[in-house]
Structure 1
């Protein structure tokens, strides 16, 4: 039940941030759309999913991208090394 509340709160914050801007310049919108998700976000999401099996944590770790990848490398366990 707590996961549902945390997810709803996170979605409210994301929606507020997304719709709180009056106008976005065309160049900014084009840059965001063309760049998409970075490599660090993908690596962080995949490693978080492998370790935790949680979609919410994978999204949060994907947001922090390279910071989580560095944390993962420094704190990984022997069973996670190949």
Structure 2
């Protein structure tokens, strides 16, 4: 990783945000897959819910959890 302008730190900030979004989406997908498979015992539904990522996690937390 090469810093273009060390004074502003803007480049580093952009890299940090991109990495955070990448890992957040990856974690959301993994969490959605785990929740879906535990609830439905179906690999197909787990894959579909993994594509929805955090949307499915929030939906499950609000409407499906008991």
Larger Rg: 2
Aligned residue among 42, 56, 66 for 2:44: 56
TM-score (norm 2): 0.59
Write out aligned runs for 1:62-77 (5 A): 62-77=50-65
Q: 1:66 to 1:77 in 2, by over 3 A?
A: closer
TM-score (norm 1): 0.48
**Structure 2 gap ranges (5+):** 1-21
Give deviations 1:4-59, integer Å, cap 9, x for gaps.
xxxxxxxxxxxxxxxxxxxxxxxxxxxxxxx6870000000000001100000000
For this pair of structures, how many residues does the alignment match? 44
Q: Structure 1: which 4+ aligned runs deviate by more than 2 Å?
A: none
Aligned residue among 19, 41, 57 for 2:29: 41
